[in-house]
């Protein structure tokens, strides 16, 4: 079954709450755990999508979200994933698209704790707060600037077909 679960990983506290993680004191990252079918989308394609959603050079975290809990990282499950993530990162670093050094780390997966129910599908459950964040974070403008062919607008979004998704993921840096 394919799914995306919001949660926390990389820290020292067992089964932390959102309040604990958002304090920045647990060492956890806010993260998503993706379960996928490699017959539909490959790990390499997931990496391509990931890079097009973040600022890999932001030392202080991501957009309006500041603190170590919002830093970017890729958590690998095995040596092959580690190698693929490293190769993907290196290709993007060498592409010349960014003029600052990358700070996104590639780290071993340890334990993942699902976030509370209210944190799952947050953009649907808290539409007004999500829209406020989206409009004030500069994230969308940044992503449009870095990936103009990606059309990162979420308004009137319709999911592309699997073939279209693959084509977008394979777009060269």
| pLDDT value, residue 154 | 44
- Enter the pTM of the model: 0.81
Indicate if the pLDDT at residue 168 is higher than 80.
no
Q: Which residue has tokens 């999911």?
A: 159
| DSSP 8-state secondary structure symbol assigned to residue 119 | G
Strand-pair category, 112-114 with 3-9:
antiparallel
Euclidean distance between CA atoms 24 and 4, whole angstroms: 23
| pLDDT value, residue 116 | 94
Q: Tell whether domain 3-169 is in CATH 1.10.287.70.
A: no
Indicate if the pLDDT at residue 173 is higher than 60.
no
Q: Which residue has tokens 């991501």?
A: 62
Which is higher by pLDDT, 106 or 129? 106
CA distances from 97 to 27, 110, 136 (A): 30, 31, 24
Q: Is 59 exposed, middle or buried (0-12, 13-18, 19+ CB in 10 A)?
A: exposed
pLDDT over 90 for what percent of the chain?
62
Structure tokens at 116: 């509370």
Confidence of residue 95 (pLDDT cuts 50, 70, 90): very high
| pLDDT value, residue 136 | 87
Structure tokens at 98: 């960014």
Indicate if the pLDDT at residue 155 is higher than 50.
no
Which is higher by pLDDT, 91 or 166? 91
Helix, coil or strand: residue 28: coil
| pLDDT value, residue 133 | 85
Euclidean distance between CA atoms 90 and 84, whole angstroms: 10
Domain assignments of the chain as residue spans, ordered by start: 3-169
Residues 41-72: tens digit of each pLDDT: 999 999 999 999 999 999 988 988 899 999 99
């Amino acid at each position: 079954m394919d799914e995306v679960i919001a949660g926390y990983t990389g820290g020292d506290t067992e089964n932390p709450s959102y309040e604990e993680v958002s304090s920045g004191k647990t060492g956890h990252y806010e993260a998503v755990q993706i379960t996928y079918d490699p017959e539909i989308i490959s790990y390499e394609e997931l990496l391509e999508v990931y890079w097009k959603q973040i600022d890999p050079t932001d030392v202080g975290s991501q957009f309006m979200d500041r603190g170590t809990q919002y830093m970017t990282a890729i958590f690998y499950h095995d040596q092959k994933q580690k190698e693929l993530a490293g190769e993907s990162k290196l290709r993007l670093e060498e592409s010349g698209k960014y003029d600052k050094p990358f700070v996104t780390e590639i780290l071993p997966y340890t334990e993942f704790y699902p976030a509370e129910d209210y944190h799952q599908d947050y953009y649907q459950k808290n539409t007004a707060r999500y829209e406020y964040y989206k409009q004030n974070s500069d994230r969308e403008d940044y992503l449009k600037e870095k990936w103009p062919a990606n059309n990162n607008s979420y308004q009137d979004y319709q999911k592309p077909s699997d073939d279209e998704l693959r084509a977008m993921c394979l777009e060269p840096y």
